[in-house]
Amino acid sequence: MQLIEMREAIRQAIDEEMTRDETVFIMGEEVAEYNGAYKVTKGLLDKYGAKRVIDTPISENGFAGIGIGAAMTGLRPIVEFMSFNFYFVAADQIISHACKMYYMSGGRFSVPIVFRGPNGAAAQVSCQHSHCVEAIYGNLPGLIIIAPSNAYNAKGLLKSAIRNNNPVIYLESELLYNDKMEIPTEEYLLPIGKANIVKEGSQLTICAHGRMVKLCLQAIEELESKGISCELIDLQTIKPLDVETIKESVEKTHFCVLVEEGHIFGGIAAELGFQIQEQCLDYLDAPVARVCQRETPMPYSKVLEKETLPTVERIVATCLQTLAIS
Amino acid sequence: MTQQEKPLDFYKVSHQTVVDALGNQTLIDCLDRMLLIRNLETRAEAAYQQGNIGGFFHSYMGQEAIQTSCLQAVGHNNWFATTYRCHALALLLGITPREIMAELFGKETGNAKGRGGSMHLYHDRLLGGFGIVGGQLPIATGAAFSCKYQNQKEQIALCFLGDGAVPQGTLHESLNMAALWHLPCMYVVENNQWSMGTHISRGVANHNYITYYLAKAYGISHYRLDGMDFFNCYGGFLVAYQEILATGKPVLIEAVGERFRGHSISDPGLYRSKDHLKERMERDPIVLFRNELFDRNILSEDEYKTMDKKAREIVVDALQYAEESAWPDVSTLEQDVFAP
């Protein structure tokens, strides 16, 4: 076992896959000589050289498309966005080309590419660097969406993503990069499309992904101190969604709270909630509840930033309300 | 490296040199391909009017010399990407008229199983007709990146775009990275004068000079070709192709022509006067090419008529094939959203 930060787990996944397969390369802003804006790609330039670790100009639509073209012609690119908020500039390439290509070409051209980088809020980076993008991607058939929550699943899922033959959106969180965890030293992969039951419990199901899993664990500690047993499901993959695992849990607990860092309207939680009512209506003893970002852009002030995002307090309060415990 | 001296001059090509290099039969074969394109577009248009083809339909009529000569110059063993005006390129790469027509009809035997339609045709080396103006530019650049990455020195990527894509940011992003990284990509602006109904003079600043100075700005070669003249296009494409193979660097080409139909089939072309179009059609690339072959005694009128008739028959057969082909089985609707 090794005790490493999540950024190192991601780096190891890239490193191992680049060693394993010469068609894998990484490109993005500052990934090479600067060693990555968040140091995820540290040391890769020295190890693999400028042919496979490529600094790009600030041309997100351009280099996202170059990645897609490379993927269609025999390579397996990893494209880093310094922030997923910069993907909006590259939206055409991802939305109209990468995610539709295999279908549109009658199965002739697959697009094995990973788009990765930090998603959602960091620390006071304001409106244009804090948006959660998974709900936007979620509406696009043809994309795989992965949101790791810790070093272990970050590494295992990224390795699977790089080997997958489809475009993968791999959403990291700047606020998790420093989190340490003990993970295996030997190679492992985790399957795409499988949720993880982080903690078993009997009275309430909580579903979350990415950084929110960490908040939910803190909320659960508080709820357990009140004698409430919670089951926590980490989606790990948002699309394809492992609805079976959620369904089994809700059928057991009869109560469900969904926690999402992104906005409430049309969010991943909205989709989850709908699928739960479709599949588990007879088992539910209360409406499915949501804790999401409020309907505002991300304000700069830390007081306001905290208010718009889900917090441990809001999660605890929503769980208690759902269970009708005051 | 050959650079033209004046930005508005066409690259100088001696027709005799092209005749000598290609030989009579190859020239006839090229005209034959242009006739097949023309016949396919003509018949497909009629099928559209009869309701057998839906959606958008963008005819390549009037531009046949450009891609036909280009493919003759560079061969098939490269990567290609083009706009939604993509029937000709698919045909030139060897996709059969039957397969194309079946795709236009939306049948299961179609080139993309009826999922792409008129704007999205493919071949093992054709990355697509692309429906977003300028969308294919970074992707073709990525194909050139692949050639370099995999050390395939005998291959390049070719990216066709319309004059309407010149103001798109993707052109500048692609030219910048291709020039910066020395990617073997041939960018071909097919200037048919119109981005839908907007004349290039109303959409592009300094429009007569824009591609020339773009190439200058990015430090790459530029060729301006007469898109109506097969010989001029062939000579220019060949030199540009050899330059890319030799230097590994991209080039920017502008082939100047005029499309003979509306932007798409539903466009009556009211923005363009009949006199203007008539004048331009006097330089029909097929007529110019044919007449030169007549003048040089390479082809007789009878032989030409036979070729045209044969092309028509091939397309009529394709129409029949498309009509008789089965619709896609609706149970396959959700297949192939993801690759295995």
Q: Are residues A87 and A203 in the same domain?
A: no
Q: Are residues A28 and A169 in the same domain?
A: yes
Given A149, A183, A217, the domain boundary residue is A183
Q: Could you say which of A107, A109, A166 has the minimum Cβ distance to residue B127?
A: A109
Note whether A93 contacts B177, CB cutoff 8 Å. no
- C-beta neighbour count of B152 within 10 angstroms: 16
State the angle between helix axes of B15-49 and B64-74 in degrees (0 to 180), rounded to the nearest 10. 130
How near does any CA of chain A get to the CA of B336, in Å?
Answer: 5
Q: Which residue has the tokens 């839908």?
A: B196
Q: What is the DSSP string of B162-201?
A: EGGGTTSHHHHHHHHHHHHHT--EEEEEEE-SEETTEEHH
Q: What is the DSSP string of B286-313?
A: HHHHHHHHHHTTSS-HHHHHHHHHHHHH
Rg value, chain B, Cα: 19
DSSP state of A197: E
Residue of B nearest to A59 (CA): B173
Q: Please report residues of B whose CB lies closer than 8 A to that of A167.
A: none
Alpha-carbon gap, residue A244 to B245, rounded angstroms: 55
* Average pLDDT score, chain B: 96
Tokens of B339: 């690759």
Q: Please report residues of A whose CB lies closer than 8 A to that of B127.
A: 69, 72-73, 109
Note whether residue A276 is domain-resident: yes
Q: Which of residues 155-214 of A touch B (CB under 8 A)?
A: 165-166
Given A156, A183, A210, the domain boundary residue is A183
Q: Which residue has the tokens 């076992």?
A: A1
- Is A16 considered catalytic here? no
Alpha-carbon gap, residue B174 to B98, rounded angstroms: 35
Q: Which residue has the tokens 């899922």?
A: A157
Q: Are residues A35 and A109 in the same domain?
A: yes
Residue from A166, A141, A170, A209 nearest A79 by CA: A170
Q: Which residue has the tokens 């009997």?
A: A202
Q: Are residues A117 and A212 in the same domain?
A: no
Q: Are residues A121 and A232 in the same domain?
A: no
Q: Are residues A214 and A146 in the same domain?
A: no
Note whether B127 contacts A69, CB cutoff 8 Å. yes
DSSP state of A283: G
Sign of the CA dihedral with B180 first, then B182, B185, and B189 last? positive
Give residues with Cβ within 8 angstroms of B47, minimum separation 6: B53, B101, B104, B105, B319, B322
Cβ pair A210, A250 in contact under 8 A: no
Q: Please report residues of B whose CB lies closer than 8 A to that of A73.
A: 79, 127, 142-143, 146-147
Q: Per residue in A113-139, pLDDT tens?
A: 999 999 999 989 999 999 999 999 999
Q: Are residues A6 and A144 in the same domain?
A: yes
The gap from C-alpha A125 to its chain's centroid, in whole angstroms, comes to 19
Q: Give pLDDT, residue B1.
A: 41
A5, A29, A80, A129: the active-site residue: A129
Q: Could you say which of B115, B139, B180 has the minimum Cβ distance to residue A68?
A: B139
Q: Are residues A93 and A220 in the same domain?
A: no
Note whether residue A188 is domain-resident: no
Note whether residue A191 is domain-resident: no
Note whether A59 contacts B338, CB cutoff 8 Å. no
Q: Are residues A260 and A310 in the same domain?
A: yes
How near does any CA of chain A get to the CA of B314, in Å?
Answer: 24
Q: Which residue has the tokens 């370099």?
A: B148
- C-beta neighbour count of A16 within 10 angstroms: 16
Q: Could you say which of A59, A75, A109 has the minimum Cβ distance to residue B146?
A: A75
* Average pLDDT score, chain A: 97
* pLDDT above 90 as % of chain B: 92
Domains of chain B: 15-69+81-141+223-229+255-327 (3.40.50.970)
Q: Per residue in B274-299, pLDDT tens?
A: 998 999 999 999 999 999 999 999 99
Q: Are residues A8 and A138 in the same domain?
A: yes
Q: Give pLDDT, residue A80.
A: 98
Cis ω before A297 (30° cut-off from 0)? no
Residue from A141, A114, A66, A100 nearest B131 by CA: A100
Bridge partners of residue B225, in order along the sequence: B255
- Is A209 considered catalytic here? no
Q: Is B198 helix (H, G, I), strand (E, B) or coil?
A: strand
Note whether residue A318 is domain-resident: yes
Note whether residue A242 is domain-resident: yes
* pLDDT above 70 as % of chain B: 99
The arithmetic mean of pLDDT across residues B249-278, rounded, is 91
Note whether residue A262 is domain-resident: yes
Given A118, A153, A183, the domain boundary residue is A183
C-alpha torsion B215→B221→B222→B228, nearest 10: -140
Which CATH number covers residue A114? Answer: 3.40.50.970
**Residue A34 near chain B (CB below 8 Å):** no
Q: Give pLDDT, residue B264.
A: 87
The arithmetic mean of pLDDT across residues B7-11, rounded, is 92
Q: Are residues A91 and A65 in the same domain?
A: yes
**Residue A58 near chain B (CB below 8 Å):** no
Q: Per residue in B234-252, pLDDT tens?
A: 999 999 999 999 999 999 9
Q: Are residues A219 and A169 in the same domain?
A: no
Whether the complex's predicted ipTM surpasses the cut of 0.90: yes
A29, A60, A80, A260: the active-site residue: A60
Output B268 or B121, whichever has higher pLDDT: B121
Note whether residue A212 is domain-resident: yes
Q: Give pLDDT, residue B5.
A: 60
DSSP state of A83: S
Range of the domain at A268: 196-322
Task: Point out the residues of chain A with pLDDT beneath 50.
Answer: none
Best to test chain B binding among A89, A105, A109, A163 (most B CBs inside 10 Å): A105
Give residues with Cβ within 8 angstroms of B211, minimum separation 6: B166, B189, B191, B222, B224, B252, B253, B254
The count of structural domains within chain A is 2
Cβ pair B175, B213 in contact under 8 A: no
Tokens of B179: 């020039």
Strands of the B79-82 sheet, one edge to the other? B126-129, B79-82, B157-162, B185-191, B251-256, B221-226
Q: Per residue in A50-102, pLDDT tens?
A: 999 999 999 999 999 999 999 999 999 999 999 999 989 999 999 999 999 99
Q: Give the containing element (helix H, strand E) for A117.
A: strand A113-118
Which CATH number covers residue A282? Answer: 3.40.50.920
The gap from C-alpha A95 to its chain's centroid, in whole angstroms, comes to 18
Note whether residue A268 is domain-resident: yes
